[in-house]
Structure 1
Amino acid sequence: MRRLDRIDEFLLTLVRLRLGAPEEDLTYRFEVSQSRVSKILTNWLPFLAAQFKGLISWPTVGPCHGIFSNFPNTVAAMDCTQVFTERPYNLQSQKAMYSDYKSHTTIKYLGAVDIFTGAFVFLSGGQSGNASDRYMVETSGILDVLIPGQRVFADRGFKVYDLFAKNRAFLTIPSFMKGRAQLPANEALISRLMASGRIHVERAFGRLHEFRILNRVQPIKQSKGLLDDMVVIAAALCNLQPRLIKHQEM
């Protein structure tokens, strides 16, 4: 077995993230022991996350043209994504981590995307898959970065107007039918305009999950901190890719 130099250790870490290659595969590819692969990942993932997290920054102003002229100072759309995990042995942990939406135990992340560029502007730490959307907003730290007057789009599940109001910010979600046969014209127009902006958060999460490690079932023995690091690195690298939203899509 050979000793890797730093550039090869960096490459090994990126292969792990992008291809989701198992440690056994990396052992073969890089001709090092599996214990060495584990040590490299344990060292490099926190380091890269610390270096790259600055690429995920909250915007100070929002676009004021195109469809966004209907929603002054809109800066982002937020939603949650989930990463599968092995089932914990502890029954209470199983219940806490079980996502009814995914029918699996998961770790859940709240992310926000700039609706003008498609770049990630916020990413929370992971929470148990059963966490509610309200709990995610309350504990994620997104309320701390909001600037008074800013507006964020979200799905119907995020009924957290009060949390945003406390920060003198605005939350906009699609209208509910509430037993009506159809929405009034003005509400229908607003919902359509919102959907054209909100769809980009789904596209951004799709790009995030092109890092195949996030599509693998994560082992319970792995620390949540390392998974958080992987998500941060993947999101930051997404932000270095060409713009997700083209000007003609505005």
Structure 2
Amino acid sequence: MWIIWRTFLCRSVTLASSGQRFQSTTIVHASQQKTVQHKRILHHQSQPMTWMTKTVGFSQAYISPVFGSFCLPSQIFLTLPRTIKLAVHHQLLLVLMRLRLGLMFTDLGKRFGISRTTACEIFAVWRPILARFMKEKIIAWLPKDTLERIRPQSFSVHYPKATFIIDCTEIFVQRPKNLRKRAQTYSNYNHHNTYKALYCIAPNDFVMFVSKLFGGRASDTFITRNSGLISHLIPGDQVLADRGFTITDVLPPGVTLAIPAFTRGCKELPEHEVTRTRRLANVIIHIERTIRRLKGFTILSNIIPGRIQHVDDIVTICAGLCNCNLS
């Protein structure tokens, strides 16, 4: 249960058994913490469950200096339909189980004592809410002073100015019936139809940017040019990437790009290029580990059916949840 409210970065949440309730939410500041009482009326189902009364909390050791202060907007609860007779935190748990475990709506309906249609409606309602919250509050572009403070020791020696690491990840999707979409989503690398997204992390594995989804046919360079990432760059930034990102010509003045050396056209690399490539590979491995954490959500690791829409929101939510579980 604690992971649900940890997603929204609430310091302490008191859940009432039924009827009306008062919710106490702590707004986390970088220098201080203040508790603000919010009077909210939430409608729960008439039959209370045994574990509905509980107080949960978590440590705010990392998020505090990064985000400053914020809390879950009360407007979120006002947008929920009142026809759903399921507690709000149970609805959120259902959504998280759908993402993490990849359970079908029929299975979720039986677990929560509701119909399959209601379970599908709950996911459809919460999906845009969570995606918007993750974009605005969780997946944030960190300022330079914060990057300096959180940069690991492995970067400080050879890449002290590294701002972020980028790479593309592919999500398998069912082969579309439309021939044009089938051609646009076919990946020559994976020999399968896929969606492709640009993933950008800070040196400490914090997700800073997630692009919209492109077809698997799109190249890494094309996605980087059209994802909106370039607008975040400022002079003095250093981008770390794999050798497929030949984007030097589109980078703003003063921004440098570090990619492994190319072996095409030469029998062997000079000694200094081999050393530089090895050092770069030792830090680029961070983004591979972060993408592996993203694929830990079963809904993204399995083949996504063609009937599922708004996969961009699902990727954004999963990326934001990865930020809430940094270790």
Q: Answer yes or no: same fold by TM over 0.5.
A: yes
Aligned to 2:299: 213
Aligned to 1:132: 219
Deviation per residue, 1:83-105 (Å, 9 max, x gap): 11111111111000111112111
Structure 1: segments with no counterpart, 5+ residues: 244-250
Deviation per residue, 1:84-133 (Å, 9 max, x gap): 11111111110001111121111111001112x11111110111111111
Aligned to 2:141: 58
3-state SS in 1 of match to 2:242: coil
Please point out which of 205, 225, 230 is paired with 1:143.
230
Which stretch shows the higher mean deviation, 206-215 or 63-72?
63-72
Higher relative contact order structure (alpha carbons within 8 Å, sequence separation ≥ 6): 1
Question: Greater helix percent: which structure?
Answer: 1
Please point out which of 144, 156, 173 is paired with 2:259.
173
Cα RMSD of the aligned pairs, angstroms, is 1.7
Aligned to 1:199: 285
- Does residue 156 (structure 1) correspond to residue 243 (structure 2)? The answer is yes
Aligned counterparts, 1:1-150, within 5 A: 3-53=85-135, 54-61=137-144, 62-63=147-148, 66-115=154-203, 117-150=204-237
Structure 2: segments with no counterpart, 5+ residues: 1-83
Aligned to 2:57: none
TM-score by length of 1: 0.89
Q: Does structure 1 conserve the Cα–Cα contact (< 8 Å) formed by 2:155 and 2:162?
A: no
3-state SS in 1 of match to 2:197: strand
Q: Report deviation, 1:149.
A: 1.7
Which stretch shows the higher mean deviation, 51-60 or 17-26?
51-60
Aligned to 2:18: none
Deviation per residue, 1:26-51 (Å, 9 max, x gap): 12211211111111111101101111
* Percent identical: 36
TM-score by length of 2: 0.69
Partners of 1:71 and 1:11 in 2: CA distance: 41
Q: Does structure 2 conserve the Cα–Cα contact (< 8 Å) formed by 1:100 and 1:130?
A: yes
Partners of 2:253 and 2:324 in 1: CA distance: 31
Which stretch shows the higher mean deviation, 205-214 or 50-59?
50-59
Rg larger in 1 or in 2? 2
Please point out which of 273, 286, 293 is paired with 1:187.
273
Structure 1 residue identity aligned to 2:210: L
